[in-house]
């Protein structure tokens, strides 16, 4: 399977019991392995968490460090921030959490 061609459903099909109830770290680690095998490394990762609670500030450094370790990236290229949804819809009503992430991949 070529790294740049498949979509997330092809890499982690919901029909495969291997992925059922898997921790998010399993998916991140697997994505990092596929990236590495394809000859890429992270140039920059920018993640925004959108949630009302809990407040991310006290956990920001830990989350950033964990992402760096799971992906084999230098912590200096990993940026993490959070914002609320101002009590609007499910995100603001504390019924869901969203994440927007942009990653620049660079050929090794």
Tell me, what's the pLDDT at 88? 59
User: Quick check: pTM over 0.85?
Assistant: no
Mean pLDDT computed over 97-105: 92
Is it the case that residue 3 has pLDDT exceeding 60? no
For 29-78, the pLDDT digits (tens) are 999 999 999 999 999 999 999 888 888 899 999 999 999 999 999 999 99
- Determine contact, residues 87/93, Cβ cutoff 8 Å: yes
């Amino acid at each position: 399977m070529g790294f740049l061609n498949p979509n997330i459903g092809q890499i982690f099909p919901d029909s495969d019991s291997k992925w059922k109830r898997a921790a998010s770290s399993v998916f991140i680690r697997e994505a990092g392995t596929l990236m590495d095998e394809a000859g890429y490394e992270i140039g920059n990762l920018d993640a925004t968490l959108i949630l009302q609670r809990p407040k991310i500030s006290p956990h920001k450094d830990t989350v950033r460090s964990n992402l760096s370790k799971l992906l084999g990236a230098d912590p200096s290229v990993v940026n993490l921030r959070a914002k609320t949804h101002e009590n609007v819809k499910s995100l603001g009503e504390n019924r869901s959490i969203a994440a927007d992430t942009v990653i620049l991949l660079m050929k090794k």
